[in-house]
Amino acid sequence: MSRVTYRAIQQEVLARIRRKTWQPGALIPTEAALAAEFGCARATINRALRELAETGIIERRRKAGTRVSATPVRKATLEIPVTRLEVEARGATYRHKVLERREIPAPAHLIARMNLAANARLLHLKTLHLADAHPFLFEDRFINPLTATGIKDAPLESISANEWLVRNIPISGGDITFLAEPATPEDAAALDVATGCALFIINRLTWAGIEAVTQVRLAYPPGYAMTTKI
Amino acid sequence: MSRVTYRAIQQEVLARIRRKTWQPGALIPTEAALAAEFGCARATINRALRELAETGIIERRRKAGTRVSATPVRKATLEIPVTRLEVEARGATYRHKVLERREIPAPAHLIARMNLAANARLLHLKTLHLADAHPFLFEDRFINPLTATGIKDAPLESISANEWLVRNIPISGGDITFLAEPATPEDAAALDVATGCALFIINRLTWAGIEAVTQVRLAYPPGYAMTTKI
DNA sequence: AAGTGGTCTAGACCACGTT
DNA sequence: ACGTGGTCTAGACCACTTC
């Protein structure tokens, strides 16, 4: 075991910020100075501070140095699990039901958002996910068969599109939006709730490079909450 | 510039996963082997793989080695800015109005959640945040004056509690919950929307060590969406 | 017992941004 | 121009986990 760990340095830095030894907005010593003070290598200081910078507690810029964030932008990490695992983590039995599966011409609003050719066709899926036979999530998904190669032959009755895509199509990135919406009549029927009641909605658009793979709207019934820690 | 960067290694690793050279669930070579292959130091491989593991793309365990995640749990990072900055980032003028400010005995449900003494008192604040004079956010907050020392004398008319706390009280962590709720009559009056309409709600409880600092419920009107990337 | 990742060191060079 | 963080190296020891 070495004498000084990067975690110990992080703790000490946080303690000094908490004690106001280092005020918000103020510069803290350079890596070299801290390495000398703590009697460790600069690389150790670097790792400690780099990770703190990733959480938004401090801000670092070459030449300008490192300073305590004046108005820290807290960053929370959300885990986005496969729905089956999320249900099973709650101790329930997972099942899903494909309500609709059709190939259609891409709707106009998706041609722009997904950067598709004007005559592109998409696979349109509607799926109800169940936890112990109770509606857990109503999913309305469009899949680009050109990027999600093999989706047409996927056994989507036994593996959800969600999970099939995650396992088979390497995704480079995506945009996620969280919001609240009133239940449409279709949402209400699928989830067995009243039309107009407040649903938690996730919209997600995912990419493989510059090509869109899938756009999905997830509607969760009242009572669902997404939780995380900072 | 060195010959091999950790970013280049990440790209190559991702490419191999995408090409299925390394299948989901399969072991990939050890750090030492990759260092030899790429002709770089093991520390460089370590940094490349460590960061990929943080995103959930690969999984690492001592002795067991590194493998490609079979069902990757995507991780998204949410930024939680101060409301004023969020409004200003949209090009609007920020203003807030304290609707209520009272010291009260802690409600029973918060005594448990915030780990308070039975006779604890809390500062109860209700604040409306405005963007260009339109309601942007209705905030219902409880503050523990024992941990948020100085809050009683804070000029909460000119600086929001949100911002005052962020600047003055060092926070060690917290729990955040996102959900949808129908607007209560009070929400509706504050936000100028219909009672019962779908609101996006954030509940946040923050701690300084083992002591709770504040519990807040943020209610956003219809149309608000929280966005992030993966 | 042995193999793998986790971390630290001491030194070096470099990119970047401020001055 | 120059100071700061960003990164890489080569080597070392250690912690954890599986065998």
Tokens of A202: 């996730």
Question: Is pLDDT of A103 > 90?
Answer: yes
**Could you tell me how many helices (H) and strands (E) chain B has, helices first?**
7, 11
Tokens of A113: 């958002």
Could you give phi then psi for residue A229, rounded to 5 degrees? -125, 155
Tokens of A20: 């106001």
- Would you call A170 and B24 a contact, using CB atoms and an 8 Å cutoff? no
Pair B183, B197: CB distance under 8 Å: yes
Would you state the pLDDT for residue B2?
A: 55
Would you state the pLDDT for residue B48?
A: 97
In this structure, the number of other CB atoms found within 10 A of the CB of residue A93 comes to 10
**What sign does the dihedral B25-B30-B33-B38 (CA atoms) show?**
positive
Distance between the alpha carbon (CA) of A122 and the C1' atom of C2, Å: 53
At A108-127, the pLDDT tens digits run 999 999 999 999 999 999 99
The C-alpha torsion from B85 through A113 and B52 to B48, rounded to 10°, is: -90
What residue of B is the nearest CA neighbor of A208?
Answer: B18
> Quick one: pLDDT band at residue A6, thresholds 50, 70, 90?
very high
Distance between the alpha carbon (CA) of A42 and the C1' atom of C3, Å: 29
> In angstroms, what separates the C-alpha of B23 from chain A's closest C-alpha?
10
Alpha-carbon gap, residue B158 to B87, rounded angstroms: 16
Would you state the pLDDT for residue A229?
A: 85
Alpha-carbon gap, residue B76 to B93, rounded angstroms: 29
Contact of A105 with chain B, judged by CB distance below 8 Å, is answered with no
Spell out where B32-160 has E strands. Answer: 58-61, 65-68, 74-80, 94-105, 121-131, 134-143
Would you state the pLDDT for residue B1?
A: 52
- Would you call B197 and A200 a contact, using CB atoms and an 8 Å cutoff? no
Residue A171 identity: I
Mean pLDDT of A213-227: 96
Contact of B197 with chain A, judged by CB distance below 8 Å, is answered with yes
D chain positions with any atom within 7 Å of a protein CB = 2-12, 14-18
Tokens of A173: 């990135």
Using CB atoms and an 8 Å cut-off, which of residues 5-24 of chain A contact chain B? 14, 17-18, 24
Pair B49, B42: CB distance under 8 Å: no
Distance between the alpha carbon (CA) of B62 and the C1' atom of C3, Å: 9
Alpha-carbon gap, residue B50 to B36, rounded angstroms: 18
Mean pLDDT of A78-107: 93
In this structure, the number of other CB atoms found within 10 A of the CB of residue B42 comes to 14
Mean pLDDT of A202-224: 94
| Interface-testing mutation among A50, A74, A218, A229, with chain B (most B C-beta atoms within 10 A) | A74
Using alpha carbons, select from A129, A126, A86 the residue that is nearest to residue A226. A86
At A141-150, the pLDDT tens digits run 999 999 999 8
- Would you call A178 and B226 a contact, using CB atoms and an 8 Å cutoff? yes
Would you state the pLDDT for residue B151?
A: 92
Per-residue pLDDT of chain B (230 residues; tens, 9 = 90+): 557 899 999 999 999 998 889 998 999 999 999 999 999 999 999 999 999 999 889 999 999 999 999 877 788 888 888 899 999 989 999 999 999 999 999 999 999 999 999 999 999 999 999 999 899 999 999 999 999 999 989 999 999 999 999 888 877 789 999 999 999 999 999 999 999 999 999 999 999 878 899 999 999 999 999 999 88
Q: Are strands B74-80 and A94-105 parallel, antiparallel or unpaired?
A: unpaired
Which residues are paired to A104 by β-bridges?
A122
> In angstroms, what separates the C-alpha of B92 from chain A's closest C-alpha?
19
Alpha-carbon gap, residue B215 to B204, rounded angstroms: 6
Contact of A58 with chain B, judged by CB distance below 8 Å, is answered with no
> Quick one: pLDDT band at residue A79, thresholds 50, 70, 90?
confident
From the Cβ of B73, is strand D under 7 Å away? Answer: no
**What sign does the dihedral B150-B154-B160-B166 (CA atoms) show?**
negative
- Angle of helix B42-55 relative to helix B31-38, nearest 10 degrees? 120
| Interface-testing mutation among A52, A85, A230, with chain B (most B C-beta atoms within 10 A) | A230
Would you state the pLDDT for residue A76?
A: 85
**Over pLDDT 70: what percentage of chain A?**
99
